[in-house]
Amino acid sequence: MITLGYNGFASGAKCFGEHYGAVGVARNLLAGHDASAALVIDGELVAAVEEERLSRVTTTSDIPKNAIDWCLEFAGIEFDCGVYRTRKSVGVLQPRRKLVP
């Protein structure tokens, strides 16, 4: 089984802070920052990287598009979405494959 996991969504920490009242460091501790992606194949970690290492934007909480791309490229895998879970971040995946509701 191939599993690609990621942490981060567009302005995630800011959105969390607005909804739950957390600000500054507390917001990042609760919502997370340093968006990243990791790829696990048959229970073995194959690739993992923080988005800031590729985008040079420190402590970003945005969707880690570059990190996702890097993990897949490192493993030689093309993105083919069978099952995924998301809320408002669907737009980042749509250019790769048209998703049916």
Compute the distance between CA of residue 81 and CA of residue 8 in angstroms, rounded to an integer: 18
pLDDT over threshold 50, residue 101: no
Whole-number pLDDT of residue 57: 82
SS (H, E, C) the chain: CEEEEEECCCCHHHHHHHHHCCCHHHHHHHHCCCCEEEEEECCEEEEEEEHHHHHCCCCCCCCCHHHHHHHHHHHCCCCCCCCCCCCCCHHHHCCCCCCCC
Q: Mind listing the domains of the chain with CATH numbers?
A: 2-86 (3.30.420.40)
31-87 pLDDT, tens digit per residue, is: 556 788 999 999 999 999 999 898 888 877 777 889 989 999 999 988 766 555 555
Structure token digits, residue 16: 């969390």
**pTM across the whole model:** 0.63
Looking at per-residue pLDDT, the higher value among 30 and 99 belongs to 30
Compute the distance between CA of residue 35 and CA of residue 43 in angstroms, rounded to an integer: 22
Whole-number pLDDT of residue 45: 95
pLDDT over threshold 70, residue 95: no
